[in-house]
Amino acid sequence: MSAQVANGTGLDALEKRLAEDLSLLELPAKPWVPERMHDGSTVRDVIIIGAGMCGLAATAKLVLSGINNVVAYDAAPAGLEGPWATFARMETLRSPKSLHGPALGLPQLTFRAWFTAQWGADAWASLDKIPKHQWMDYLIWYRRVLALPVQNGVRMTAIVPAGDLIALDLEGAQTGRVYTRHLVLATGRSGLGGFAVPDFLKDVDRRYWAHSADDIDFTALKGKRLAVIGAGASSMDNAATALESGAESLDLLIRRKEMPRINKMTGIGSQGVVHGMHQLPDAWKWKFVDYTATTQTPPPRGSTLRVSRHANARFLLDCGINSVQEDAGELLIDTTQGLLRYDFLIAATGFSNDFSGRPEFTSLAPHIRRWADGRYTQNMGTPRANLLESPDLGPAFEFRERVPGTCPMLAQIHCFNDAAMLTHGKVSGDIPAVSAGAERLVRGITAALFASDVDTHFANLVAYDIPELQGDEWTDSTPLLKKDTAL
């Protein structure tokens, strides 16, 4: 037995405590959803697409709630879901180490419990921020310790209505068609649309530029003159990685006259924001998100210093881009500061909610109601394109139809990713409130499944015949009473 296990620490001991806690709470709850068959096979109660942090939290909450006929599919190999071990180029998470993340109210499931079990309380005290690979390791453990039903290497390629069910086409490690009653799209930041690419880049040969979430070969950028668009976290992380890989020079092309310096939404973070935002009138939701978009989130201090420590890095502020073109084997960029020449450009320009960008959503895209379809009204504030294309979701993150009756299955498809932010607040993308989001999602799915099977549940009520009283607990005094009355 290792010293840590003997001392009640170590992962084995932690897993034992977690099992005890689950047992005390009688979790997972007993399965309660009636089995449903289609073409001779069992239909899934819920399929989750994406096994990143949101997909895992949603799957865990479903299983703990007694909805256990579920599976999560992820196109990525196990351990490479989401950005952490792929295109996240920061050294550490931005979030404070103490956030509960996907722990779903279970103390032994927190990152802190996992870390402390292995490296001890002193190491926890001296940890500044969570290294990104360690966050991925924690998510791998989270999935294992809860024995979550996840299948990797499986891409969902199409969604097709099938009566009151949803049919999904799969490719990869599992192929063919599967059926489900509810579908959760935990497909991440780029999950509904894809990369947001500015118009001035759309016709430029991809040899000369990459999106910050692309798989970039940084060794090939050694000795090159580089530009990075933007001043957000990803701009800094990509710029720093390029500089550390030996770029000859690197310019950050920043449209703003000043760097954003205050992280406003994090600053006012509270349980009020987590649980209250989605209940606010729409005009208030718009106002919060519009203001945050206007003031912008600054890049983390550490990431910014990671760039500025290089003498060959320049921060070019007030440097809007008018056009980009290929010119004699290099990039010629016309900016508000004049003409600039580079070998390669990285566009850290974020993601879009434009569903038409994803082939797997072709059947849904024209039917999904967006904020632009009447939920936004001019008195709310600036009509920002990326907010207008946000889906107009219901209380369980379910899509709504643009024209009622044209695609009823949307009511069973839940948008549990970044695109839900305008309707639901930040509960389905970032670490701080993902448990609250998963709980809201699963409460809604639970209610919908129960209501949809209400006939069966009522029939079960009528058929239930196991007596609680055996009949020997009392005597019937009615004959006596009759006798008394007669007297």
Ligand X SMILES: Cc1cc2nc3c(=O)[nH]c(=O)nc-3n(C[C@H](O)[C@H](O)[C@H](O)COP(=O)(O)OP(=O)(O)OC[C@H]3O[C@@H](n4cnc5c(N)ncnc54)[C@H](O)[C@@H]3O)c2cc1C
Q: Which residues bind ligand X (CB under 6 A)?
A: 49-50, 52-55, 73-76, 81-83, 88, 93-95, 155-156, 186-189, 191, 234, 360, 417, 429-432
The C-alpha atoms of residue 418 and residue 54 are separated, in whole angstroms, by: 10
Q: How many CB atoms lie within 10 A of CB 129?
A: 17
Say if residues 261 and 289 touch (Cβ distance below 8 Å): no
Write the DSSP string, 316-345: E-S--EEEEEEETTEEEEEETTEEEEESEE
Q: Determine the Cα–Cα distance for residues 408 and 108; give it in Å rounded to an integer.
A: 40
| Alpha-carbon gap, residue 309 to 312, rounded angstroms | 9
CB of 86 to ligand X, least distance (A): 9
Provide the minimum distance between the beta carbon of 369 and ligand X in the complex, in angstroms, as a whole number.
22
CA–CA gap between residue 436 and residue 468 (Å, rounded): 38
- Look up tokens 């009636």; give the residue: 34
CB of 358 to ligand X, least distance (A): 8
Rounded CA-CA distance 345/342 in Å is: 7
CB of 333 to ligand X, least distance (A): 25
| Closer to ligand X by Cβ: residue 10 or 191 | 191
By C-beta, is 86 or 294 nearer to ligand X?
A: 86
Q: Which is nearer to ligand X, 50 or 425 (CB)?
A: 50
Give whichever of 10 and 425 is closer to ligand X, judged by the CB atom: 425
CB of 411 to ligand X, least distance (A): 21
Torsion-angle region of residue 188: left (phi > 0), alpha (psi -120 to 50) or beta? left
- Token digits of residue 472: 């020997």
Q: Which residues are CB-neighbours of 312 under 8 A, at least 6 positions away?
A: 243, 247, 248, 249, 250
Nearer CB in complex with ligand X: 74/401 = 74
Q: Judged by CB, which is closer to ligand X: 340, or 421?
A: 421
Instruction: State the nearest-atom distance from the C-beta of 410 to ligand X, in Å.
Output: 17
Phi and psi angles of residue 29, each rounded to the nearest 5 degrees, phi first: -65, 160
User: Counting every residue, how long is the chain?
Assistant: 487
- Of 20, 36, 24, 55, nearest to 442 by C-alpha is 55
**Nearer residue to ligand X within complex by CB, 43 or 53:** 53
Q: How far is the CB of 49 from ligand X (least distance, A)?
A: 5
Interatomic CA distance for residues 382 and 366, integer angstroms: 24
Phi, psi dihedrals of residue 88, rounded to the nearest 5°: -75, 115
Closer residue to ligand X in complex, CB, 52/230: 52
3 state SS of 2 = coil
Name which of 44 and 225 has its Cβ closer to ligand X: 44
Distance of closest approach, residue 193 Cβ to ligand X, in angstroms: 11
- Quote the least distance from Cβ 81 to ligand X, whole Å: 3
- C-alpha angle 393-86-387 in degrees, rounded to nearest 5: 25
Our CB check for ligand X shows the closer of 54 and 340 to be 54
- Least CB distance from residue 50 to ligand X, whole Å? 3
In the complex with ligand X, the residue whose CB is nearer, 10 or 232, is 232
- Whether 71 and 151 have beta carbons less than 8 Å apart is answered as yes
> How far apart are CB 432 and ligand X at their closest, in Å?
6
Kindly state the DSSP code that residue 44 receives in the 8-state scheme. E
In contact, 200 and 322? CB cutoff 8 Å:
yes
143 phi and psi angles, rounded to 5 deg: -65, -40
Instruction: Report CA torsion sign: 311, 317, 321, 322.
Output: negative
Instruction: Tell the smallest beta-carbon distance from residue 258 to ligand X (Å).
Output: 24
Please report, as a single letter, which amino acid is at residue 44.
R
Nearer to ligand X, 69 or 417 (CB): 417
User: Is the peptide bond preceding residue 131 cis, with omega within 30 degrees of 0?
Assistant: no
Residue 275 CA to residue 409 CA, distance in Å, equals 27
